[in-house]
Structure 1
């Protein structure tokens, strides 16, 4: 829980934040004026101070998604290291995530560097530099491992890898867009919906300036996917995948690959996720074969058959044909959509589990093709 106050007109309004919901409270007429001004607005900024480290307030900026009465629902916020009433400046964002560590092969790079004679407890090393474009702006991020002893060895002793990215607009909205894109990158690479950041740091001229907080952050979840990326060619796959994901940094997806069908361990096998898989398949089929996608005489079964024939390796270890498999998926969709039956527990039906895992792989292959990878690249890509 975070406490503080926001600046409004010539006064201050106290707040309490819990789970990114800011509750404002005061007997002053100032709160009524605030409600009249902001209850009809969306996506606006508030400036204030928070008191999370004692009696000295630190500068804070809040991006409010929308307000209802005296409640502000926050999209994200930043907190400065400064306690003085100074302008909060930052020019770089640093993302720490155990999932990104796995994707960028932190453990394997660490071992290779140490065996080569590098002392990563003295000076950090940039392992990858990868450019990408987002919102008509050109970026280049660095994946960095190691500690800088000039800041003190225990300054961030738990830190492993960190993704460092210089900013253009240096605004909180840009930080939010960047976190969305790299969160989606981790989603696609791990095939999981819940891949939170551990910590997001803001820097100014190389020095730590503050922190960025959003619902995509959590310290309670750890990854365990490093084995899958043992032989992963980062420089071959990540630039293309990231550039595609960055085509859509907002909530509406029109150009990039779909990710809404991904789930966590609790929702891996459910009727809802199966239907989301179908939506993602249809979205990608429209991208890859617009003519047949718009043809009303080319139903779902034919679309599925066409795509399974496009990626025959998906059924190479089974006796089922593409036509039979497509018929099973089509029939499962029909029984759910038209209410002929409802499956309360997909986990007990092994055939449904197999079909859903097969759909996941098909969607992953179609996504890689839409990104622009060749058939050989797709066959050599790791499948999670």
Structure 2
């Protein structure tokens, strides 16, 4: 019988496991893949995420530092940078593996290459079934991503989960080309994917190129659009990996008796950009504190664990809610918002402050709404809308 089993070794799971193991609780992480494992992701870890870690990321993991972005919408292009980095570019396989190592150094154990098939809550423990083994734990943290097995047990919500869709691949590129065009910025193109965008994120000797769709991918052919995009950009061909991303900002059940959900499994993802790492780390830390307190009181009931959802809402719930509001506005009227973003440098600059974690979506919208009529009038004057 373990004290805590964490299902999934992504940033949310390993963060939770690290903090729990440090308190002396017998902690096991069960990871479906062999580490380090490939993770389809753009690979930008924002300063917002880094500020929530209690250790520094070593230099060897940092492919590049990112100071800003170049935004494209049809024939409109605009760049903006901050004086300090908004984040770092990493390989997600290396980054996640490093976080897992921090968890094991703190005393957590990891079993790899072992998918969890189901979890069942008993009176005094949770039974976790894999293909070949049964693990018992007094409490479970579900950190198993958008298709979470644990979420099926923890959530009584019968509504379908709202997800975005992404395609991404790592494309080799000459270092000279990367340095000339993307040395310390990302590139985002809102003009080629309905209800979504393409991105180019530079690493050391390759580019992470992908697309995110926040609407229904069946409305057009995402794979065809992806290949057209990399062909137009003269990138090397590589087959992309597709995966779903939960859209944050919706109310979800994130705990039940003896089970807590963290990160993507809880739907904690920015609804506009699809960024999830900051919320994974924050929810992992909050879950760890709730679990430690539950052991102190020997109470693992849903009513005891309900403080978890309250604390998550207090710490970052507003940002997810307002990211969803902005996403809905932006993708309903992309011809207006994307043109504003590519014509008003102060708007793009303020958006970068949100990515960095120095501002919030709520503050950004409060800044934008009074200026919206003026910006719209300028676009009309220039015959841009």
Assess same fold via TM > 0.5: no
TM bucket by the smaller chain?
under 0.3
Q: Which has the higher contact order (CA 8 A, sep 6+)?
A: 2
Instruction: Select the structure of larger CA radius of gyration.
Output: 1
